[in-house]
Amino acid sequence: MDSVVTQVFLPIALGVVMLGLGLSLTVGDFARVVRYPRAVAIALGCQVLLLPAICFGLVVAFGLRPELAVGMMLLAASPGGTTANLYSHLFGGHVALNVTLTAVNSVLAVFTLPIVVNLSLSHFMTGSGDVGLRFDEVLKVFAIVLVPVAIGMLVRAKAADLAARLTKPVRILSVVVLVLVIAGAVARELDNVVDYFVAVGLVALLFNLISLAVGYGLPKLATVGERESVASAMEIGIHNGTLAIAIAVGLLDSTEMAIPAAVYSLIMFFTAAGFGWLITRNRVPEPVVAAPEA
């Protein structure tokens, strides 16, 4: 049963999530990078370089056991999730920038994620044998991440009406899939789940809060606009937990490494909402311009 879940259900589940992303993308979303170069560069720099460094520091400081440490690093290397677009919309962020960041980050993750994971395995699990993402497994990451995105983009380009009709049900299905994947990861380690939550819960919470704060604060320091800063915060603070779980269970054959992503995915929905309220609670609404009289 586990092999069926690992080899069949998880890739399909992740494919659904990435297909939903593809249905919301156009080639123009990648081209939009040149319109917001500073915002994109800061957000991607945080995602690719700063977050893994911060996560490594937290993991070492709290002395997490090796499997959980690798799981946290895997999560840190995962791109932003599509849910970031929704949160950005709710709190007045630049949703188009979110879409662009998610698109570019998902492509970059195909190359950066295996590097971070293999370095983490080498550091934290020395002597564990031939463990890691081999080249054939990197190709699997490429297939399950980019192929569904490409299919979704093709559907949108060739049949925009169909893509529009599919977007909402696929997004709902993606949420259901995420919940089921988390439940499955937790169920497989049910005997140890309380210990895992105790061990990794505080680290996951701190990492999430720091990610949100860095994602918002650094763009503001660089005089990036408010809407773009909100978009960056949500993109950096909300990760693709389904991808991290799929790689941990499906490619690394470790449910324990999937626990940090499962815990983080449960936490981030609440912290992102609270963070969004915090940074927008004193925002002055834009004045409404009255229409000229006829």
Question: Could you tell me which of 229, 194, 193 has the C-alpha nearest to residue 214?
Answer: 229
Residues in the chain: 294
CA separation for the pair 42, 20 (Å, rounded): 26
Tell me the pLDDT tens digit for each residue of 129-154. Answer: 444 555 566 666 667 667 777 888 88
Question: Could you tell me which of 220, 279, 269 has the C-alpha nearest to residue 241?
Answer: 269
When pLDDT is averaged across residues 38-63 and rounded to a whole number, the result is: 92
pLDDT of residue 254: 83
CA separation for the pair 212, 234 (Å, rounded): 7
Q: Strand pairing partners for 239?
A: 80
CA separation for the pair 290, 287 (Å, rounded): 9
Stated pTM of the model? 0.77
Which CATH code is given to the segment(s) 2-277? 1.20.1530.20
Tell me the pLDDT tens digit for each residue of 255-265. Answer: 889 889 988 98
